[in-house]
């Protein structure tokens, strides 16, 4: 047992929290759409073919805005394939995931699903194999009230009123060699700028996300952001960040430092964006849309790319692809990534968990069978539900461990949120060895409220078996339990086992 202490001071406020930071991501990939959210033959399916058991889990997860339809998929997608009578829609080959796309679910069906789960739509346009005109066509179809051919088609297809999509991604991972139509930074930046300017002429109220690097490990990282923003600085509100994490070589302690990597990534992109602003003598601040993040076992143990095996199996429809099984350890790292996003709430104004169902997902389904929660479901659903209006720094005085990449890393990491009714604390013990006895001074918060705070609920995610997982055979093996937090005389006490994540609500 080691000691950890901290004090919450409302004056340490980071920023208000944009609820879009609790967003998700749905791509036409594997069994995400078909046999995931949409399975007309399932016993729980509604009149539109959507699984209601999945709908209830997505609602409990608490996702705000959902990015769609990709991802790599979007760089070869013709959005017109997904409108009109479903039985007349073309079947297409999806080069991104070496699959066949039936187009049974398109824009209208997906918006209907969003209406059921209570989330907003965030659309990505194809700047891989297509360009400015096709982006304008989609924007006109989705958002315009004028009497045009596109809006008449929208009405015929069942929607008189516009979709009213606010947030748009200008392509996806255009720096990646794997991306259809990938470009260098100058070519992409020029195209993104032209497209953004044209979209604003049609709908001045849109918020636009330009592609940042596909990850901080890309050889062009940094230079890509600078060049792209030099082209698009005046045209966009956001630049994207994408990052995935996995345990390498059974090194759990190093894996538990993933949040440090995410923090450095965010801070590097912010520094580059602000440097571009300085050269333009502008006080505008580009925000970050961290619109792909998760734990993803992207590389197999032999070093090969996950999903490559599909290339030898023809062009299947909705294959089982990227269906990672998440352990207790993964969920603790995942919870720390959420803490990191909230610690940067001043610049991370949108984020999308990639993805939601079956594909590197917190929710799994079996065709004709049940749906269940993976371990990563719990930190997301609890943080989304309990997070208040404003993020507050919580500097923790605690022990450290040595990371081969980052040097000395704090064993305990935390963030708090405040609202008019109380306080929420999110905290992780990254140590694989030592439990931590956390004492949190609440006196400054109590003074701000004019009264003491009491614990309303507390949740602990921990398992003695770091590799315990929820499966079809044992869907409730890992969950959360009461954390045993208490608040007495202005001090919160909480014991965190090694490799654990906790959420506490005080009111």
The residues pairing with 242 across neighbouring beta strands, listed in sequence order, are 292
Both 418 and 339 in one domain: the answer is: no
CATH of the domain at 488: 2.60.40.1180
Both 91 and 142 in one domain: the answer is: yes
Output DSSP code: residue 17: P
CA distance 278 to 166: 28
389 is catalytic: no
Both 89 and 224 in one domain: the answer is: yes
173 is catalytic: yes
Both 169 and 263 in one domain: the answer is: yes
Both 139 and 214 in one domain: the answer is: yes
Residue 440 — φ and ψ, nearest 5°?
-120, 120
CA distance 201 to 136: 10
Q: What are the angstrom distances between the C-alpha of 251 and each of 248, 255, 329, 331?
A: 6, 6, 11, 16
Domain C-terminal end among 386, 408, 430: 386
Domain C-terminal end among 364, 386, 408: 386
CA distance 294 to 243: 7
Contact present, 110 and 69 (Cβ < 8 Å): yes
Domain span at residue 486 reads 2-9+392-506
Question: Which pLDDT score, from 0 to 100, does residue 67 have?
Answer: 98
Residue 159 — φ and ψ, nearest 5°?
-140, 105
Both 346 and 398 in one domain: the answer is: no
Please state the three-class secondary structure of 456-485 as a single string.
EEEEEECCCCCCCECCCCCCCCCCEECCCC
From the list 424, 347, 416, the residue with the least C-alpha distance to 386 is 424
CA distance 441 to 421: 18
From the list 303, 313, 501, 281, the residue with the least C-alpha distance to 413 is 501
Both 214 and 326 in one domain: the answer is: yes
Domain C-terminal end among 349, 371, 386: 386
Both 356 and 485 in one domain: the answer is: no
**Tokens representing residue 342 in the block:** 């909230």
Q: What is the pLDDT along the chain (507 residues), one digit of tens a residue?
A: 899 999 999 999 999 999 999 999 999 999 999 999 999 999 999 999 999 999 999 999 999 999 999 999 999 999 999 999 999 999 999 999 999 999 999 999 999 999 999 999 999 999 999 999 999 999 999 999 999 999 999 999 999 999 999 999 999 999 999 999 999 999 999 999 999 999 999 999 999 999 999 999 999 999 999 999 999 999 999 999 999 999 998 899 999 999 999 999 999 999 999 999 999 999 999 999 999 999 999 877 655 666 666 667 789 999 999 999 999 999 999 999 999 999 999 999 999 999 999 999 999 999 999 999 999 999 999 999 999 999 999 999 999 999 999 999 999 999 999 999 999 999 999 999 999 999 999 999 998 888 889 999 999 999 999 999 999 999 999 999 999 999 999 999 999 999 999 999 999
CA distance 190 to 232: 8
Both 165 and 216 in one domain: the answer is: yes
Both 405 and 357 in one domain: the answer is: no
pLDDT in tens, 380-407: 999 999 999 999 999 999 999 999 999 9
Both 36 and 115 in one domain: the answer is: yes
Strands 120-125 and 167-170: parallel
**Residue 105 exposure: Cα atoms within 13 Å on the Cβ side:** 26
Q: Which of 109, 173, 237, 247 is catalytic?
A: 173
Question: Which pLDDT score, from 0 to 100, does residue 313 have?
Answer: 75
CATH of the domain at 111: 3.20.20.80
**Tokens representing residue 424 in the block:** 């929420």
- Number of separate domains in the chain: 2
Q: Indicate the burial class of 46 (C-beta count within 10 angstroms; 0-12, 13-18, 19 or more).
A: middle
Q: What is the DSSP string of 139-194?
A: HHHHH--S--HHHHHHHHTT-SS-----EEEE-S-TT-TTSTT---HHHHHHHHHH
Question: Which pLDDT score, from 0 to 100, does residue 1 have?
Answer: 86
CA distance 70 to 16: 28
Q: What is the DSSP string of 394-405?
A: --EE--EEEETT
Both 474 and 435 in one domain: the answer is: yes
**Tokens representing residue 379 in the block:** 């930190």
Contact present, 412 and 429 (Cβ < 8 Å): yes
Residue 419 — φ and ψ, nearest 5°?
-150, -175
């Amino acid at each position: 047992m080691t000691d950890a202490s901290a004090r919450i001071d409302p004056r340490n406020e980071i920023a208000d929290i944009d609820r879009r930071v609790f967003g998700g991501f749905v791509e036409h990939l594997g069994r995400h759409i078909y046999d995931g959210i949409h399975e007309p033959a399932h016993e729980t399916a509604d009149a539109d073919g959507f699984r209601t058991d999945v709908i209830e889990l997505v609602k409990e997860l608490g996702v705000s805005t959902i990015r769609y339809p990709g991802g790599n998929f979007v760089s070869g997608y013709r959005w017109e394939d997904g409108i009109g009578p479903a039985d007349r829609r073309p079947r297409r080959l999806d080069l991104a995931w070496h699959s066949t796309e039936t187009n049974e679910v398109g824009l209208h069906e997906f918006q209907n699903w969003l209406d059921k789960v209570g989330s907003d739509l965030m659309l990505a346009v194809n700047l891989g194999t297509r360009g400015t005109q096709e982006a304008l066509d989609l924007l006109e179809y989705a958002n315009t009230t004028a009497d045009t051919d596109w809006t008449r088609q929208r009405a015929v297809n069942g929607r008189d009123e516009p979709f009213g999509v606010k947030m748009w991604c200008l392509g996806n991972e255009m720096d990646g060699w794997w991306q259809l139509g990938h470009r260098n930074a100058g070519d992409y930046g020029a195209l993104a700028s032209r497209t953004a300017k044209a979209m604003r002429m049609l709908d001045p109220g849109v918020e636009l996300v330009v592609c940042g690097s596909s990850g901080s490990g890309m050889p062009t990282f940094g230079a890509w952001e600078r060049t792209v923003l030099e082209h698009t600085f005046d045209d966009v509100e956001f630049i994207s960040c994408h990052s995935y994490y996995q345990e390498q070589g059974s090194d759990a302690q190093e894996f538990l430092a993933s949040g440090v990597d995410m923090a450095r990534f965010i801070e590097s992109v912010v520094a580059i964006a602000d440097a571009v602003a300085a050269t333009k003598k502008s006080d505008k601040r580009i925000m970050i849309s961290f619109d792909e993040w998760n734990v993803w076992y992207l590389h197999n143990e032999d070093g090969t790319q996950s999903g490559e095996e599909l290339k030898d199996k023809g062009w299947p429809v909705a294959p089982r692809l990227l269906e990672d099984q998440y352990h207790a350890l993964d969920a603790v790292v995942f919870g720390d990534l959420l803490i990191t996003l909230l610690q940067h709430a001043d610049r991370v104004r949108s984020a999308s968990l990639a993805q939601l169902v079956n594909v590197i997902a917190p929710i799994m389904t079996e065709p004709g069978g049940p749906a269940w929660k993976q371990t990563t479901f719990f930190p997301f659903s609890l943080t989304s539900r309990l997070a208040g209006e404003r993020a507050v720094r919580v500097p923790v005085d605690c022990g450290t461990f040595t990371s081969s990449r980052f040097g000395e890393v704090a064993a305990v990491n935390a963030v708090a949120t405040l609202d008019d009714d109380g306080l929420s604390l999110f905290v992780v013990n990254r140590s694989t060895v030592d439990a931590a006895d956390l004492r949190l001074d609440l006196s400054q918060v109590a003074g701000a409220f004019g009264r003491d705070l009491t614990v309303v609920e507390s949740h602990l995610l921990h398992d003695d078996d770091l590799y315990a997982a929820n499966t079809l055979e044992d869907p409730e093996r890992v969950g959360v339990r009461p954390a045993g937090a208490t608040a007495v005389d202005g001090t919160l006490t909480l014991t965190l086992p090694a490799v654990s994540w906790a959420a506490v609500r005080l009111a």
